[in-house]
Chain A
Amino acid sequence: MKKTVVSSVFVALLVLSGCGDKDPQVEATDSAATKEVASTRAAVETVSSNNNNTSAVSDSAESSSEAMARLEKELKTIYFDFDKFNVRADMQANLSADAGVVNTKASKYFVKLEGNCDEWGSDEYNFALGLKRADTVKKALVAEGVDANRISMVSFGESSPTCTDKTKECWAQNRRVDFKLLP
């Protein structure tokens, strides 16, 4: 579990009072400001306590995590062409090998397919393209006998690049679907 801290917004503390020459000035309300600062601290503390619980859980699941990490390395990434979500001919062998691992050594785990895109666009359409890539891989796995209920999907759009150089090789590496195993 990743740590997320939500703080109340400081900009809410500002009391901006514009007034004409003859109008009385509106004073900043210190009590309101104090209240909001206090609530910020409360929010941060709450999240911190959640984080402690998470670390306790992760200790007991350590061996399972190692096994999953080892198997994940055996699962091959599927790459795609620019603006496409169909599986390329040269990726069919990888996909069959992945289905074999998922059906045998990793059969007790759930599979999460992570769809990714290159940097050309950060909008919803790019996320949808990543998802369609994951969905194509899911359908191929199901066709090879993997139970559809074991598979979940997510799209990261362009936000999870493995390579950040401005080269064609780099962009090609980012148009992909990665496999993650879940207990």
Chain B
Amino acid sequence: MKIIISILLIIASLFANDATIDVVKKADSLPGIAVEDSSISYDQTFRGKFFKALVADLNVLSIFNVDRNYRTVAYDASSVSVENKDINYVLRYKLSEDNNRALNVEIKLISKDNIVFSKNYKVNSSDIYMFVSHTIAFDINEFMGEASVEWMKRKVIFSKMISPQKSELVISDYTLTYQHVIVKGGFNVFPKWANKEQSAFYYSSLDDKKPTLKYVDTKTGKSQVVKSSDGMMICSDVNEDGTKLLLTMAPKGQPDIYLYDVNTKNTKMLTNYGGIDVGGQFLGKDNVVFVSDRLGYPNIFSLNMNSGSVEQVVHYGKSNAACSVFGKYIVYKARETSDSFGNNTFNLHLVSTETDSIRRLTAVGVNEFPRFSVDGDAIIFIKNYQSQSSIGIIRLNHNKNYLFPLKSGKIQAMDW
């Protein structure tokens, strides 16, 4: 009996950390949390917006059952409101505006009438209140001892089509609540952060005679040309320290993957197949995962940059046209139907390079452009469904998806 139990425990431990295995947690087993507003400044509209943002962020944490009822109470009241007295946690916040019109936010997390966590925040404009909300959720998550949600505080950059051959590059928070158009006018696509700090980005301009890769410093707004190529010029990935880029170029009409050294400006051709090779993603220091139609349909392959050997890494699906890599995991987009005259479904799937298991992450619509968060905790993607474009977040370890719709336009590409 002991041997059987030991074997079962070993098997369980083998799969315990495999994100390709579905994790289904019962919502009832999560602790409850309610939010109380104690604000002394701002009108009810703004207070309501802040409340909704905070509730949404707490929900995305996926570690609480979040009570959506709006309640007000004095910040220094010794007990929580009557309706919340049986809820495990109460997050109370106070918004106040100072003489410099800065937004000040005080919070306290109350459990069983005890203040278990408190913190103050300040930003110089109430317009960026959503970043305070994201940071509060991040801090609550840290306090609860959960895996980091650093990605919540990061910025998303996306290209938005506003009409044929006209696009805007927009920087936003992960919920699309804050949006700042950073490149306006022209036909610009495929933005990509240039470094971990998100202080600069690359994008492809299609306005010039040849597709051109440009680099923009977000603080100065200065733009510079990196490189041009006939046909295609896209920055697919940036390595850890921002010194190497994987580019898709087609100087002779043939889309292939190239390695570009930011310091020396040298370019090295990595693939030379006669069909389509695109979308290179760094996998460690020596390997590149990419999309190729070398088997007659788009699929995901890996290339060893030292030996030049190519290996198929995804064995499910007949049209897998995009992917993102984090450690041993690959998330890829698969076309589920191939109807040239009807609505097609594209779903995201997660595979591990170490096991054969596959996990489907989405169910309906066109789900594409998957990108792992910097810590691999979440996947961000574009969902186009029933004429609406949204940014989706998948919490892998919590088996939950969240969607944040774009009010107008269509998201063409994005990076996180």
Contact = CB atoms under 8 A, between A and B. Distances in A.
Contact of A182 (B128, B209, B342): B209
A8 B278 contact: no
- In this complex, the member of A3, A127, A129, A134 whose beta carbon has the largest number of chain B beta carbons within 10 angstroms is A127
Interface of B: 100, 102, 118-125, 128, 131-132, 135, 139, 155, 161, 164-165, 167, 171, 178, 180-190, 199, 205-207, 209-211, 216, 218-223, 230-232, 234, 236, 248, 250, 253-255, 275-276, 278-279, 291, 293, 298, 319, 321-322, 333, 335, 338, 340-344, 346, 366, 368-369, 382, 387, 410-413
A182 B346 CA distance: 38
Given A6-B221, A25-B120, A83-B338, A121 B128 contact: no
B188 A4 contact: yes
B12 to A, nearest CB: 37
A36 B180 CA distance: 15
Contact of B164 (A9, A18, A162): A162
A14 B366 CA distance: 35
Interface stretch (A57-65, A68-76, A92-100, A150-158): A150-158
A151 to B, nearest CB: 9
Contact of B322 (A26, A124, A129): A124
A22 to B, nearest CB: 10
Contacts of B369: 122-123
Contacts of B322: 121, 123-125
B124 A28 contact: yes
A143 interface: no
Contacts of A15: 122-124
Contact of A5 (B119, B185, B291): B185
A74 B157 CA distance: 40
Interface in A133-177: 134-135, 138, 152-157, 159-162, 166, 168, 171
Given A16-B132, A121-B322, 14 more contacts: A4-B184, A4-B188, A11-B171, A13-B125, A42-B221, A120-B344, A123-B322, A124-B248, A124-B255, A125-B298, A125-B322, A131-B232, A135-B253, A154-B211
Given A135-B254, A153-B231, A168 B341 contact: yes
Contacts of A168: 340-342
Nearest to A40: B221
B333 A159 contact: no
A8 B221 contact: yes
A14 B119 CA distance: 18
B181 A131 contact: no
A36 B125 CA distance: 15
A162 B163 CA distance: 10
A17 interface: yes
Contacts of A14: 123-125, 128, 131
